[in-house]
Amino acid sequence: MAHQTPISALGLLSGGLDSMLAARLLMDQGIHVACVNFHTGFCIQGHTSAMRNPEPNAKPPRHDALHAAQLLGIKLHMVDIAEDYVRIVTDPKHGYGSNLNPCLDCKIFMVRKAWQLKEALGFHFLFTGEVIGQRPMSQRRENLPHIERAAGVEGWLLRPLCAQRLKSTEPEKLGWVDRKQLKGFHGRGRRAQMELAQQMGLLDYPSPAGGCCFLTDANYSRKLQDLWHSRGERQYTMDDILLLKAGRHLRPAPHFKVIVGRDETENNFLSGFRAQRWLLQAEGIPGPVMLVEGTPSDSDLTLACRLTARFGQGRHSPQVTIRIAHQGQEALRQVAPLPAEEIPESWYI
C-alpha cells in the first residue's frame, strides 16, 4: 500500500548495475527514489573515447549514471565535488588502496555530501548499492559501519543489496522499508546481481569490469605520483588530472616532461592546454602534437623538438622543422629526429 506521505530515499548512483538494483528494490516497495552522482574529476566516463579516435564499432560514449537514471525513470542530481575532493586524494586519513585510490575516505566524503543533499531535499534516508566484500577496501564487512559512523549518518544509510546481512537500519525499524524484500548478497561474485537484473528486466547496464575511477588504475596513479614527486608537493589542478588521462607521458629530466598525442583527437585535446606550456608540432609533415610542461631550458626544448620529430612521419629524415608555440609567440627550430635508441625506457612514465 502506498504511504500517505511517500517515503523518499536518495541513492548514490554510480551507474553500475549494483546501484541500479538497489534503487529498483526500493522503488518496487513504493518508495520514491532519486539519486545523486558526484563528479570528482577522476570518474571514468566517455573521457578516453572523447580524447581518442573511437574504435570503428565502439558504442557511443555516454555517462553511465545519467543513463541508469533515465532507464529507472528517476531524477539524478549531478554534483561537482572536484574542488573539495582534492584533499581526499592528497591526504586521505585512511590511506590508499592498491593504487592512489583513497576509497574509504572517498566513500565517507560522498556519503556526507549525499546527506547534505538529502537534508536539503527533505528526503527520508540514504542508500547505496554496496555489497559486503565486493571491493577489497571500502566494502569489507568491518568498513561498512565505519563509513556511516564517520560520515555521521549511522542508522540512516541503507544498503538494499546486502541489508539482510547487516544490522537493521532506522528505515527498516520504522517500517518504511520491508527488510524481507531486501537482499543478503555478499562477496565478489556477480551471479546473484545478474539474476536479479534479469528478473527486473534491467538489461542495459555497463559491464562490471570497468572501475569507477582513474585512481584505481596503476598507469594513471603512476603518472599522478610522478607529478607530485616532480613538484615536491601533493597538489593538482583540474587541468593536471585531465592531462594525465591523455597522451603518452615521458619525463626526460626532473624539471620537465612531455606529453605526446597518439591520434588526431588527442592532438586536438592537448592543443587546448597550451596555456603555461609549450606546444610543439612538425611543420609540413604529419605528426603528433607535443606539450612540454615544467621549466625546460633552451636545450631541453631542442630535445623535446627532436622527440616530436621522432614520433612523427619525418622520423627518418635528416632534419625536421618544429614549430614551437609558447605564450602567444611562435618560433621554428630545425632538428634531427632523436634516434629510438636514445630514448631510455626510464623516460616513459
Partner 1 sequence: MTETAPHPPESDHTLDARRLLCPMPILRTEQALRPLPTGAILAILASDPGIEQDLPAWCRINGHTLLDLRPQGRGEWIAWVQKGE
Instruction: Give me the residues that bind partner 1 (CB under 8 A), please.
Output: 37, 39, 43, 45-47, 49-51, 54, 60-63, 66-67, 69-70, 73-76, 78, 80, 242, 265, 268-269, 272
Distance CA 308, CA 302 (A): 10
Find the distance separating the first CA and the last CA of the chain, reported in whole Å: 59
Q: Which does 268 bind (CB under 5 to 8 A by kind): ligand SF4, partner 1, none?
A: partner 1
Cβ proximity to partner 1: between 64 and 148 the closer is 64
- Helical H runs in 201-277? 218-231, 238-243, 264-271
Q: Which of 183, 88, 83 is nearest to 130 (CA)?
A: 183
Strands 290-294 and 320-326: unpaired
Q: Which residue has the cell 631510455?
A: 344
Cβ proximity to partner 1: between 213 and 305 the closer is 213
- Helical H runs in the chain? 17-27, 47-51, 64-72, 82-90, 103-121, 143-151, 170-173, 191-200, 218-231, 238-243, 264-271, 298-311
Q: Least distance to ligand SF4 from the beta carbon of 153, Å?
A: 17
Q: Extract the C-alpha cell encoding 129.
A: 548499492
**At a CB cut-off of 8 Å and minimum separation 6, what does 343 contact?**
250, 307, 310
Q: Which does 102 bind (CB under 5 to 8 A by kind): ligand SF4, partner 1, none?
A: ligand SF4
Q: Least distance to ligand SF4 from the beta carbon of 86, Å?
A: 13
Distance CA 224, CA 244 (A): 7
Distance CA 128, CA 26 (A): 11
Angle, helices 103-121/82-90, rounded to nearest 10 degrees: 150
Q: Which does 117 bind (CB under 5 to 8 A by kind): ligand SF4, partner 1, none?
A: none
Q: Which does 260 bind (CB under 5 to 8 A by kind): partner 1, ligand SF4, none?
A: none
Q: Which does 106 bind (CB under 5 to 8 A by kind): partner 1, ligand SF4, none?
A: ligand SF4
Q: Least distance to ligand SF4 from the beta carbon of 190, Å?
A: 17
Q: Least distance to partner 1 from the beta carbon of 20, Å?
A: 14
Q: Least distance to partner 1 from the beta carbon of 22, Å?
A: 18
Cβ proximity to ligand SF4: between 107 and 277 the closer is 107
Q: Which does 215 bind (CB under 5 to 8 A by kind): partner 1, ligand SF4, none?
A: ligand SF4
Cβ proximity to ligand SF4: between 126 and 213 the closer is 213
Q: Which of 51, 108, 47 is nearest to 81 (CA)?
A: 108
Cβ proximity to ligand SF4: between 139 and 193 the closer is 139
Q: Least distance to ligand SF4 from the beta carbon of 285, Å?
A: 41
Q: Which does 47 bind (CB under 5 to 8 A by kind): ligand SF4, partner 1, none?
A: partner 1
Distance CA 273, CA 127 (A): 39
Cβ proximity to partner 1: between 243 and 322 the closer is 243
- Count of CB atoms within 10 A of residue 121's CB? 13
Q: Which does 69 bind (CB under 5 to 8 A by kind): partner 1, ligand SF4, none?
A: partner 1
Interacting residues with ligand SF4 (CB under 6 A): 101-103, 106-107, 138, 211-213, 215-216
Q: Read off φ and ψ for residue 10, nearest 5 degrees.
A: -105, 125
Q: Least distance to ligand SF4 from the beta carbon of 266, Å?
A: 24
Q: Least distance to partner 1 from the beta carbon of 266, Å?
A: 11
